[in-house]
Amino acid sequence: MDDKMIDVLELRRDAKEVKRHVVLMRILGLLVIILVLIVAVAYAISYFYDKFGSFTVRVNKYDMTRQGLTLSETPEYDKSIAVLNANIVYDMTNISGKDLPENIDKINGSHNGDNYIAYTFYLINSGDDTVSYTGEMTIENVTKNVDEAVRIAVYKNGVKSVYGKTKSNGGGIESDCDSEFLTSNIVMRTSTEDFKANGKDKYTVVVWLEGNDPDCIDDIIGGTLKLGMNFKITEST
C-alpha cells in the first residue's frame, strides 16, 4: 500500500472520529439542556408550591361557568374567579389562639400576622338561579406531623368555629377547639341551602400553631401544611 493510500485512509478515519465526536458532543449538549429544563421545572413547581401552598380556595369550574358560583376577595367583583390563593407565612412559630386579633375576620383578602395565616374571601352567586352548595376543607399535604398542633378557625358570616386534630393520645377533642378534624385529611365541611342570586357568604380562615398543644414540640419545627377548600353546587332551582 503506497503512502498516498495510507494518507487517504488516515484522513477518512480522522474524519469519522471527528464526526463521532461532534455527534457525541451534540448528544451531551442535548442531555445537559434536558437536565437543566428538568431542574428548572422542579424549581418552578417547588416555588409555586411554596408561594401558593398554604391555602387555596376553589370553585368547581362547571358550577362557575353554568351557574355563576364565583369567588372574590371583596364583596364587589368585576369578573368570575374559580381559584384564590392566600399569601403564606414563612418560619411561623407557635402562639396562643387567645392572642389573635379580635377583628381578624373584618379584613378582606390576605391579612397575615407574623405567626398566623389569615384570609378572607367571599363565595358569590352571580347567576340567576337559587342553589345549594357544599364546601370541604382538606389537608392536601403535611410534613413532620405539624398538623398535630395546628389550629384552623373558620368564620362563616361572622360565626367562628375552631378545628383541631384529635388528641394524639386518643383523648378526643382539644379543649380550645369546637370540633375535631373529620378525618386524617378532611378538616371540615360546610353547606348553604337556598343560596339566592346575588347572595354572598363571607369566609375567613385563620391558621396557627397552638403553643399550648402538648404536641407542639421541637420535632415539628420546619414542618409544612397545605390546605385546600373546595366548593361545589349540590342543587339548583
CB-CB contact of 205 with 108 (8 Å): no
Is residue 41 classed as helix, strand or coil in its secondary structure?
helix
Q: How far apart are CA 180 and CA 169, in angstroms?
A: 14
CB-CB contact of 159 with 198 (8 Å): no
Q: What is the pLDDT of residue 23?
A: 72
- 175-193 residue pLDDT tens: 999 999 999 999 999 999 9
pTM: 0.78
Is residue 221 classed as helix, strand or coil in its secondary structure?
coil
Nearest to 92 by CA among 135, 35, 146: 146
CB-CB contact of 151 with 210 (8 Å): yes
- 56-99 residue pLDDT tens: 999 988 888 788 899 999 999 888 899 999 988 888 899 999 99
Q: What is the pLDDT of residue 40?
A: 54
CB-CB contact of 74 with 102 (8 Å): no
8-state DSSP, 196: -
Reading the block at residue 215, the C-alpha cell is 404536641
Q: Which residues neighbour 45 within 8 Å (Cβ) at sequence distance 6 or greater?
A: none
